[in-house]
Amino acid sequence: MSATCPTNTHRENNTCIPNIKNCAFQYEATCINCREGFAVADNKCVTNPALCSVQGIDGCATCKPGHVEQDGNCFAAVANCEFQYEEKCVVCKDGMANAGNTCVTNPAFCETNTPEGCISCKPGYSNTNGNCYAGVKNCDYQYEEKCVVCKEGLAVQDNVCVPKPNSCQIEGADGCLVCHPGHALTNGLCVPCAEGCVICSTSECLGCGLGFYLTPAGVCTDASSCGSVNPPTHPPVVPGGIANCKVQSGDSCNECEVGFRQTTAGQCAACPEGCLSCDERYCAACRPGYLFQAHQCVAPANRASQAATIGAVLGGVVALTAVIGVVAFAVRSRKPRMHTELTLVQRNEI
């Protein structure tokens, strides 16, 4: 018999016995203790359930924080390791060097080093807890390799500082006061609406964009999914229910759909064109593309027409005022002459 055993086997009593994967101490064909992070189950070493977040068919699918998954098993993560095989780090993150399976600051990136770690890093690198990480351009505050706060006017997107979208329409001292369409105002910040939504609150969509329609659940759905070129703007009427009513109680509607108002009869009546929210007399909010003017929603074209009409009326008033002024001047000019003629007649009579 050969003195050596094949790969993945070991010799016991002159016999080559297969190794049990991830077993730390094995007696003959039985595993006594598994490696750290594993537990014995049916004489196999499987991922310790305490380390697994989502269990799959062939092992753990997702490990808990602080661990990495490989082949259905969970291994303790090596800090600052970019690529890890089982419990060993193969490649450390940028700015780090592998020292005894530990990723430490690469001396080449440290400006001032101490036994406790790096005090200051070289230009282009950021210091976190004595370690140097590749700096994120235009980042004001960085934790390890991730940017937390970008410079003013920039926002973090995929760990890159990019220009902020112009989502705020009116800025206030403590944040945004009015957001552009497609955003909801939350604590002075403009939060993008869901896909397809152009008017929203923090909790629901109030109006959808072109190619989408609003479902009863307040979600904008792709118009092509309903098989109609012109999908309904509002949900279909439920047999026996009140048309365009969102919340109905008995024979009366307590809350109408967006673009409708409650009537005294408990029904829902449509708001004027372009109006998103209204009462019997006034409009409170307009749909995109309409301008809020004197409690009414006016399309830009109509607004221009109104401005032209008002201009024409004002022009007429000015012209009429000028005519009245001329007539008044003529009358005032005529009075002295009449007085003179009357005086002459009186003198002739004398």
CA distance 230 to 38: 59
As to burial, measured by CB atoms within 10 angstroms (0-12 exposed, 13-18 middle, 19+ buried), residue 292 is: middle
Residue 14 in domain: yes
Same domain, yes or no: 220 and 176: yes
Residues 44, 3 within the same domain: yes
Task: Note the pLDDT of residue 211.
Answer: 74
pLDDT the model gives residue 313: 45
Has residue 158 been placed in a domain?
no
Q: How confident is the model at residue 163, as a pLDDT?
A: 72
So what's the pLDDT on residue 350? 42
216 and 244 housed in the same domain: no
Give the N- to C-terminal CA distance of the chain in Å, as an integer.
169
* Pair 273, 239 in one domain: yes
**In-domain check, residue 12:** yes
Q: Any bridge partners for residue 98, and if so which?
A: 103
What pLDDT is recorded for position 323? 46
Spatial distance between the Cα atoms of 260 and 278, rounded to a whole number of angstroms: 7
Domain assignment of residue 143, yes or no: no
Contact criterion met (CB below 8 Å) for 110 and 122: yes
Instruction: Please choose, from the candidates 198, 191, 193, the residue with its C-alpha nearest in 3D space to the C-alpha of residue 213.
Output: 198
Q: Residue 342 phi/psi, 5° resolution? A: -65, -40
Is 177 a member of any domain? yes
In this structure, are 229 and 247 located in the same domain? no
pLDDT of residue 340: 41
Flag whether 5 is in a domain: yes
Position 121 in a domain? no
pLDDT score recorded for residue 311: 52
Residues contacting 106, CB < 8 A, separation 6+: 95, 96, 97, 132
- Residue 59 β-bridge partners: 56
Work out how many domains the chain is built from and give that number.
4
Q: How far apart are CA 265 and CA 337, in angstroms?
A: 72
Helix (H, G, I), strand (E, B) or coil at 71: coil
Quick check: is 109 in a domain? no
Q: State residue 239's pLDDT score.
A: 41
Q: Which of 211, 233, 255 is at the close of a domain?
A: 233
Residues 18 and 51 occupy one common structural domain = yes
The residues, any chain, with a CB within 8 Å of residue 301's CB and separated by 6 or more, are none
CA–CA gap between residue 175 and residue 185 (Å, rounded)? 10
pLDDT in tens, the chain (350 residues): 456 888 888 877 788 888 888 888 888 888 888 877 777 777 878 777 778 888 777 778 888 888 888 888 888 898 888 899 888 888 888 777 887 788 877 778 888 877 777 888 889 888 888 888 889 998 988 988 889 888 877 788 888 887 776 677 776 666 777 777 778 888 777 788 888 887 787 778 887 777 777 787 778 888 776 554 444 444 433 445 688 887 777 777 877 887 888 888 888 898 888 887 788 878 877 777 777 777 788 876 554 455 555 455 445 544 545 445 544 555 455 544 444 443 333 444 44
Q: Which domain holds residue 275?
A: 235-298
Domain boundary among 15, 42, 77: 77
Of 51, 77, 103, the position where a domain reaches its end is: 77
pTM exceeds 0.85 for this model: no
196/246 same-domain check: no
